[in-house]
Structure 1
Amino acid sequence: MYMASNQKGFTLIELVVVIVILGILAVTAAPKFLNLQNDARNASLQGLKGAIQGAAGIVYGKATIKGVESVADESITEGSTTINIDFGYPKATVTDLEAAVNGLKEDWDCEEDTTTTPNSVKCSFKGEASYLTTDDKCYVRYVQASSSQAASTIVSVDDSCK
């Protein structure tokens, strides 16, 4: 059998060096990709915060047009939807918040917290009730307006969301 002396190819040492380099790159890049779930959770919660803020602003605008932005315990109706308001902003009830924010009922678990003054609603990821604990920061809290000088507030999450 004749073997040409100019055969080209990789030696075993070259292949091992390439595999080691790829392993090092994989180890340094993996932590960046493993944190994508936390980033997605935080982005979803920030999106919910924005949706609630936008809806509260629209409700306040409609209340202003109606002339009830400084009145407690009022309601506004748009089509077949009625939203109870205090000082122009939606009341902190699950029903009123769901009426103001499209998709809230389908995508999020919300519960009323009447232990706070003023009342508030906490919303977390659908099907993950463990995120409603007070120690966790994986939720968005909507706090009802307490006077005509104090607008409703939305407390968001920080980067410690699990």
Structure 2
Amino acid sequence: MKTQSLKSLPMNKQAGFTLVELIIVIVILGILAVTAAPRFLNLQGDANASTLEGLQGSIRSGMNIVNGKAIIASDHKDETAEVTVDTGAPVPTVYGYPAATKAAFEAFLDVDFADNSADDTFDSKDFNIDTSTAGTAIIYPNSYESSSDCKITYVEASATTTTATPIQTIVTAPTVTLITSGC
């Protein structure tokens, strides 16, 4: 077997990337970043929408529990009354359902809401509640405004009284509307 010294072996070219190949890879990565980045940048909006969906479910469940307690107390046909929930907090009711007030929502949801008053900071709470319109509560995340399209609108129960004999009070349940198109 014939051996050769290292000095007499032919030099192999080193394999690697050329400058053109590196530029092409960088351009492709840049294009991917530009097209994919907007999908990841709006995660906060998606999180707010999901949180509002969960809160809407809690509101619906809580208002049905309050209504059940009002029925047991025979207050479900009264224009205004009050029931006590498991937390021990009183919930003001309108026709057996929670009133559209900050106190009612804090009691039956066991959540601390910020409101539009000057002494309550929005940043300290997860949600804000606007009850400036009588009979309506607007709940929205702290990074939005009540006029935005990222909110839950609660319109309290109403009732009509029939004039036919026997006179009856027909209660219309509250409406809970979720709007997430602007989150």
Q: Do both share a fold (TM > 0.5)? A: yes
Q: Percent identity?
A: 37
Counterpart residue number, 1:153: 175
CA distance in 2, matches of 1:68, 1:4: 97
Tell me the CA shift for residue 71 of structure 1. Answer: 2.8
Question: Which structure is larger by alpha-carbon Rg, 1 or 2?
Answer: 2
CA distance in 2, matches of 1:139, 1:53: 15
Counterpart of 1:142 in structure 2: which amino acid? Answer: Y
Tell me the CA shift for residue 125 of structure 1. Answer: 2.2
Gaps of 5+ in 1: none
CA distance in 2, matches of 1:21, 1:114: 54
Structure with greater helix share of residues: 1
Q: Which of 117, 122, 130 in structure 2 is aligned with 1:111?
A: 130
1:124 aligns to 2:156 (yes or no): no
Secondary structure of the residue that 1:49 maps to in structure 2?
Answer: helix
Residues 8-157 of structure 1 mapped to structure 2, 5 A cutoff = 8-78=15-85, 80-105=88-113, 106-115=125-134, 119-126=135-142, 128=143, 131-133=145-147, 136-147=148-159, 148-157=170-179
CA distance in 2, matches of 1:15, 1:87: 71
CA distance in 2, matches of 1:114, 1:159: 22
CA distance in 2, matches of 1:87, 1:37: 37
CA distance in 2, matches of 1:98, 1:81: 9
Secondary structure of the residue that 2:37 maps to in structure 1?
Answer: helix
* TM-score where L is the length of structure 2: 0.73
CA distance in 1, matches of 2:97, 2:24: 64
- Given that 1:142 and 1:153 are in contact with CA atoms closer than 8 Å, whether structure 2 keeps it comes out as yes
- Given that 1:46 and 1:157 are in contact with CA atoms closer than 8 Å, whether structure 2 keeps it comes out as no
Q: 1:114 to 1:22 in 2, by over 3 A?
A: closer
Counterpart of 2:15 in structure 1: which amino acid? Answer: K
Comparing 92-101 and 39-48, the one that deviates more:
39-48
The number of aligned residues is 153
| Structure with bigger RCO (C-alpha 8 Å, 6+ apart) | 1
* TM-score where L is the length of structure 1: 0.81
Q: 1:7 to 1:88 in 2, by over 3 A?
A: same
Gaps of 5+ in 2: 1-6, 114-124, 160-169
- Given that 2:138 and 2:153 are in contact with CA atoms closer than 8 Å, whether structure 1 keeps it comes out as yes
Tell me the CA shift for residue 67 of structure 1. Answer: 3.1
Secondary structure of the residue that 1:132 maps to in structure 2?
Answer: coil
